Structure 1
């Protein structure tokens, strides 16, 4: 099994992020998308998580 990893803040998510996630998913059996965040982020992490799930 081949695993992939995409790391980002996705603040906000854009077409480049979406293309990267889709490309990475096409190259592996399992893809992990890791979103980093801090309490000082200007965009709510729950909202960004929903954006990632929708990509």
Structure 2
């Protein structure tokens, strides 16, 4: 877990040392509900899921 702000934000590192991807969720009040935003940063967007990076 990288960062937590109760009822607002959650950020964690996904697949450390393999994909090194940071996933962030934001919760924002909107009218009578809540808006959920999601952001992915890191190599997972260009990495084939399940494959291991080359060691060559």
For normalisation by structure 1, the TM-score amounts to: 0.22
Higher relative helix content: 1
Greater per-residue strand proportion: 2
Greater gyration radius = 2
TM-score when normalising by structure 2: 0.22
